[in-house]
């Protein structure tokens, strides 16, 4: 890790990266793409030492409350968080000033902060977003080696359900010839149904590859799935979108399952829900759409 004094912490859309870089080791990680301008080794985590202070300065002065998002680019519960607790410090500030929270992770370390998630959700709205890609636990350990297993993440979703904290599942990416099977899709959907998730985000059955993450992905294909890299090169070349041949079939399964179980799966509708700040006033929910 290395420390920096950041100039800012919130984006124009009120999102933040508490850390920059990641140690989860997911073989498909888009955040490795060179287009994001990361000028350090991906696993050499950039720690914004003054991040919590910057966040408090901003939220103290903000006239209009909103949802604060984190986890879109760098997981807020990487291994360093156990020691540094910068994510927890930021959650304490969000809770203190009555803002909402939309937090995305692949780690059950989030359970450490359940007290703060409950408090935020009691005052406004807290949405916990969890990525689920692979129902097969052994395969999960290969493609997402340093993170909580899918079953452990499923347990997190159930705990959030029991605490009345809404959840959204990112069912992405699905890797052609690796986990693009009906058994995998239905297994994840069954988890979502049991955990009573509010919404599912799925952009398509496939993944995206570009300079930076493509090389890392292919390196891991050579390591774990012999001969598959060559198949990708033949079929997809340097395409940005790598779409499974099962795309149409599985998208229909997802749509039908969501409609049957009252799960939002329209991407625009899910994002509108995540971004809409809600404030509780004497038990009455007041929604402020963006």
pLDDT at 289: 58
Whole-number Å distance between alpha carbons of 233 and 213: 15
**pLDDT mean over 61-69:** 95
Q: How far apart are CA 287 and CA 290, in angstroms?
A: 10
What's the rounded Cα separation, in Å, for the pair 263 and 136? 23
Q: Residues 6 or more apart from 2 whose CB is under 8 A from it?
A: 40, 44, 45, 46, 47
Q: Tell me the residue range of the domain where 79 lies.
A: 2-288
Judge whether residue 207 has pLDDT over 70: yes
Q: How far apart are CA 24 and CA 104, in angstroms?
A: 14
What tokens appear for 127 in the block?
């949405």
Render pLDDT for 90-132 as a digit per residue (tens, 0 to 9): 999 999 999 999 999 999 999 999 999 999 999 999 999 999 9
- CB atoms closer than 10 angstroms to residue 137: 11
Residue 231 in this model has a pLDDT that exceeds 90: yes
- At 288, the pLDDT band (50, 70, 90 cuts) reads low
**Main-chain phi, psi angles of 34, to 5 degrees:** -70, -15
Q: How much of the chain exceeds pLDDT 70, in percent?
A: 97
- Report the C-alpha gap between 59 and 67 in whole angstroms: 11
Does 284 have pLDDT greater than 60? no
| Whole-number Å distance between alpha carbons of 87 and 263 | 29
What phi and psi values does residue 131 have, to the nearest 5 degrees? -85, 130
Query: Predicted confidence band at 281 (pLDDT cuts at 50, 70, 90)?
Result: low
Tell me the average pLDDT of the chain. 95
| Range of weakest confidence among 90-94, 260-264, 280-284 | 280-284
Per-residue pLDDT, 73: 86
Whether the Cβ atoms of residue 52 and residue 89 lie closer than 8 Å to each other: yes
Give the residue from 55, 53, 153 showing the smallest Cα distance to 104: 153
**Total domains, the chain:** 1
> Residue 174 belongs to a domain with what CATH number?
3.20.20.70
């Amino acid at each position: 890790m290395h420390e920096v004094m950041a100039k800012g912490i919130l984006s124009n859309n009120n999102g933040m990266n508490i850390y920059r870089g990641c140690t989860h080791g997911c073989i498909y990680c888009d955040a490795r793409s060179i287009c994001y301008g990361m000028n350090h080794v991906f696993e050499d985590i950039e720690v914004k030492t003054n991040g919590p202070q910057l966040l408090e300065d901003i939220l103290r002065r903000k006239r209009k409350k909103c949802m604060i998002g984190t986890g879109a680019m760098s997981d807020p519960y990487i291994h360093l968080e156990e020691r540094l607790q910068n994510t927890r410090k930021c959650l304490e500030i969000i809770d203190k000033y009555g803002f909402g929270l939309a937090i995305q992770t692949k780690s059950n370390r989030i359970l450490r902060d359940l007290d703060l998630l409950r408090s935020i959700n009691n005052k406004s709205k807290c949405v916990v977003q969890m990525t689920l890609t692979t129902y097969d636990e052994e395969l999960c350990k290969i493609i997402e080696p340093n993170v909580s297993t899918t079953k452990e993440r499923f347990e997190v979703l159930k705990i959030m359900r029991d605490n009345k904290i809404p959840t959204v599942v990112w069912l992405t990416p699905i890797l052609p010839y690796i986990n693009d099977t009906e058994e995998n899709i239905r297994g994840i959907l069954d988890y979502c149904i049991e955990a009573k998730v509010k919404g599912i985000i799925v952009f398509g059955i496939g993944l995206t590859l570009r300079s930076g993450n493509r090389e890392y992905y292919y390196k891991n294909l050579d390591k774990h799935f012999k001969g598959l890299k060559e198949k990708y090169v033949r079929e997809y070349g340097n395409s940005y979108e790598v779409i499974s041949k099962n795309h149409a079939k599985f998208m229909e399964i997802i749509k039908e399952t969501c409609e049957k179980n009252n799960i939002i799966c329209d991407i625009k509708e899910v994002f509108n829900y995540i971004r809409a700040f809600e404030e509780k006033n004497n038990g009455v929910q007041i929604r402020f759409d963006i």
